[in-house]
Amino acid sequence: MAAVALVQGASRGLGLEFCRNILINKAPGALIATCRNPDNAAELMSLVAQHPGKMTVLKLDVNREDDIQRAAEHVKKVFGKVDLIINSSAMLHPSGKGETSLKDVSAQGIISTLTTNTVGPLVMAKYFAPLLQKGSGAFGQQPPEKAKQHSGIIVNITAKVGSIGDNAFPWFGMDIGGTLVKLVYFEPKDITAEEEQEEVENLKSIRRYLTSNTAYGKTGVRDVHLELKNLTMCGRTGNLHFIRFPTQAMHRFIQMGSDKNFSSLHTTLCATGGGAYKFENDFRTMADLELLKLDELDCLIHGLLYVDSVSFNGHPQCYYLENPSDTQNSVKTPCSLADPFPMLLVNIGSGVSILAVYSKDDYKRVTGTSLGGGTFLGLCCLLTGCETFEEALDMASRGDSSNVDKLVKDIYGGDYERFSLQGSAVASSFGHMMSKEKRDSISKEDLARAMLVTITNNIGSIARMCAVNEKIERVVFVGNFLRINTVSTKLLAYAMDFWSKGQLKALFLEHEGYFGAVGALLELLKSSEEP
């Protein structure tokens, strides 16, 4: 008789994936899938419809011995044997919390957890062992010695949810920078009715709070226009949300996590950036959470490559500016990073790091500069009285930096033709400010614009020299300094093109400053997949 396989806990997750894999790669004579509530197992029933005549679905709650006994009797009557049994159901805790502290421990909770994860598979073995002994040994490798050959295999496997570890959801990645905290959140959209019924209220509450709001308090923002839809991560389908708030508000964020009892769902968060070290003790003492601290440059590169690989809802993630020499009429043009290496990666946050990247895991930090986005905002707050990055950029968009900077034409009376320096090029940043007459005539908007131009020109100059020294032609600019910052984007594109005589092209990415947080999320999922 053809091989017979049985997957216990097949409505979702690993159990469902085992069913798919067996049907595709093993082609058994029969596949028996069991779950507690077949009526609510939509994905499983869809799989049955795709493979008519190949699957049988049985109701089986691994906590109920009578269910197991009835299922074994049914299999004996219809199939007479089993060649493979996979036990894949799992429970963290009946409440969905887990024993994250002694106050959460209850005898009944521990008993229920052990029944599902340990006793249940043992009872399965009790009733199905006679059927496994009648199997034909169709699964697994057989040794040459006949005496050592098996008739059937029973496999007890569980997701991380069934171990003394953290539950799978919610999925977060954090990048805690010097100025801004970036948070990515994966919202599952394939939740089955059975899963929804099992979900604890605080998990639902967190999901509702994050996905139904676009602002959190006075300073937190969800960048709705960046949402990545219908992603598949770790076998789950959902949307990836991008949230940011000032690092100054970190303690309010930690307190919110404590108020929403986040530690009942996770005991560890994956975080990168300097703040993962700075705020580690605050997370521990205020919210009963540990931070898994990840290297920020590893996360940056891994996150960038992942986001580029999944595209931006069907559109390219990467773009450049066509005709960068005409800053008023340059055109945003999509392009591909399909073959990204080598690339010079310029990450502009509070400060600037410049990396030469040769592969996903082969890179070096070439140099950096302390003059970055934090410098721009700090000087703007000092000299103009603004309070936010958005306010500073708005002021800069309405200013004229030539009222503050001394230009080539202010020195030469026109272009410096020998070296092809246009009269409009900056010769001395803030050079006019040595004149009291000039100081008295400028506006705050002019100062903001001059600061933005100064910081951007410095970054562009350093990046161009690094590209030449490293012999790299692909220069990619990322970081939240570029968020809603068209002035700097155009200046960087112009600088790369002008100083390289068209040999270097500045590339930009739509998700700008979120790649570190995505890299942290990827590490969380990688950890979840490990046995």
Catalytic residue, candidates 296, 445, 512, 523: 296
* Angle between helices 250-259 and 280-287 in degrees, nearest 10: 30
466 within 8 A of 332, measured Cβ to Cβ: no
Does the annotation mark 510 as catalytic? no
What would the two tokens of residue 495 be?
Answer: 């600088």
DSSP state of 217: T
What CA–CA distance (Å, rounded) separates 321 from 306?
23
Token couple for 457: 């020109």
CA dihedral 491→493→499→502, nearest 10 degrees, is -150
Which of 330, 323, 270 minimizes the C-alpha distance to 298? 270
Q: Where are any strands of DSSP class E within 105-225?
A: 153-156, 171-176, 180-188, 215-216, 220-222
Nearest to 412 by CA among 425, 400, 431, 401: 425
Residues 6+ apart with CB under 8 A from 157: 14, 86, 87, 88
Rounded distance, CA 440 to CA 253, Å?
A: 43
Residues classed as catalytic:
296
